[in-house]
Every structure is written in C-alpha cells, then in structure tokens.
Chain A
Amino acid sequence: KQEVTQIPAALSVPEGENLVLNCSFTDSAIYNLQWFRQDPGKGLTSLLLIQSSQREQTSGRLNASLDKSSGRSTLYIAASQPGDSATYLCAAFSGGYNKLIFGAGTRLAVHP
C-alpha cells in the first residue's frame, strides 16, 4: 500500500531563507510525483511534476528532486518570500493504484 509522508508538518522561517520540504513514499514503483501549493481555503495549484525517469524539475525559485530508490522527494525554495506562505502537498501517482496518493502537507509561514 502506498503511503506518502511529509516532514515537517509546519515550518516558520524569516524572509530570504532557503528551505527544503521533504516528502517520502513507501512504494518506489511510482509513475510520477507532483508538488502542489494550497492557499488557505483554496484549491490546489500544481507547482512541479517529476516523471519517474527524471531526477529533478525547476521552476523559478522552486526545485524539486526525486530519488525513487530511497523513496524521497524534496522541494527546495530559494530566497523565500512572504508570498510563499501556504501549504505544500506532494502526491505520488503509480499505475498500480491508478490514483494520486497525497501527503498531509507542510504548512509554511515566511515572515518579513
């Protein structure tokens, strides 16, 4: 059974810090892994998708990496800003389950 875990559950940092959010999954037979952003009371916005054959994806100040063998993905946020404050969710998709399995998210607060 695929389980996705995100650590830490919450994080508070001063503006300008570089930070890393962690996501681990128990079944390495994934097709891809996605990182989403969720603002309070809102839906999800896809940030990055990493295919199983890829090691990382980058979009602006965001970089996501994937290590299937260890069952881990990280989301790196460079030079954090108050506007980055949100909950970040990762989700693994594998053909065997034919659905996205979500982690519980990391709630990030970036203070000025």
Chain B
Amino acid sequence: DGGITQSPKYLFRKEGQNVTLSCEQNLNHDAMYWYRQDPGQGLRLIYYSQIVNDFQKGDIAEGYSVSREKKESFPLTVTSAQKNPTAFYLCASKIPGPKNIQYFGAGTRLSVL
C-alpha cells in the first residue's frame, strides 16, 4: 500500500532530551512537510523539504531540526531547546504540480514526562 508512515504513534520526552520522529513515504513524492498541531488550533508549518538534501524553515522552526538524506524519509528532531514540545505532529508529502495537494500521515503525539 502506498502512503505515509509516521512512528512512533506516541512518544514521551524527558527534560533536556532530544527525540526524533520518523516519517517515511513510498509515494515517490519529492516534497515533504512537518506540521505541529496544538489543541483547538490549526496546523502550523515547522519545516519542509522540496527535494533531497534541501529543506527550509517554516513558521515555527525554532527548537526543531530535520534532515533529508533520502527521498523516502524526512525525520524531525525535537531538541531540548524546544521548551513546549507537547503537541500532535503531522508529516505530509505533496504530489508534483502546482496544486499543492498534500497527503498526511497518522501523526505522532509527543508528551513531556
């Protein structure tokens, strides 16, 4: 089945710890995105990547880092610099073309211990 796989589904972070959220897609999409969703709010863009070995900051990149070494994978690291990391994190990829149609993974819920 083609799709976007996010893991783990739930993640807990201790204070001062870096944690990495996984996002893998087998849709052969070039562009991938990371969003953060807080209760009662819309999605906010953290980072995006248009192509392998390239990525750009979104609106709320502080305290996060990403890499894009393979087309299929776009992991997000939540660093200790992110003081309020508790949120629902969604990864998406985009089909080629100007319409910006994005497909989303099932999400990872990150909580602080």
A residues contacting B by CB (< 8 A) are 4, 9, 31-32, 34, 36, 41-46, 49, 51, 89, 91, 93, 95, 99-105
**Is the Cβ of A42 less than 8 Å from the Cβ of B106?**
yes
Does B43 touch A at the CB level, under 8 Å? yes
Interface size class of B (residues with CB under 8 A): 20 to 34
Does B109 touch A at the CB level, under 8 Å? yes
A82–B40 Cα gap in the complex (Å)?
21
A32–B43 Cα gap in the complex (Å)?
17
Residue of B nearest to A43 (CB): B104
- A4-B42, A9-B40, A103-B42 given as contacts; is B104 within 8 A of A31 (CB)? no
**Is the Cβ of B99 less than 8 Å from the Cβ of A51?**
yes
**Is the Cβ of B90 less than 8 Å from the Cβ of A44?**
yes
CB contacts (< 8 Å) of B64 on chain A: these are none
**Is the Cβ of B90 less than 8 Å from the Cβ of A93?**
no
**Is the Cβ of A104 less than 8 Å from the Cβ of B40?**
yes
B44-73: CB near A (< 8 Å → 1, else 0) gives 110010000000001000000000000000
Residues in B21-46 with C-beta less than 8 Å from chain A? 40-45
Q: Which of B45, B99, B100, B107 contacts A43 (CB under 8 A)? A: B107
Does B2 touch A at the CB level, under 8 Å? no
**Is the Cβ of B42 less than 8 Å from the Cβ of A104?**
yes
- A41-B107, A99-B58 given as contacts; is B101 within 8 A of A46 (CB)? yes
User: Which of B102, B103, B106 has the most C-beta atoms of chain A within 10 angstroms of its own C-beta?
Assistant: B102
A44–B42 Cα gap in the complex (Å)?
11
Residue of A nearest to B45 (CB): A99
CB contacts (< 8 Å) of B106 on chain A: these are 42-43
**Could you give 18 example pairs across A and B, Cβ below 8 Å?**
A4-B42, A31-B99, A31-B100, A32-B99, A36-B104, A41-B88, A41-B107, A42-B107, A43-B107, A44-B90, A44-B104, A93-B100, A99-B100, A102-B43, A102-B44, A104-B40, A104-B42, A105-B42
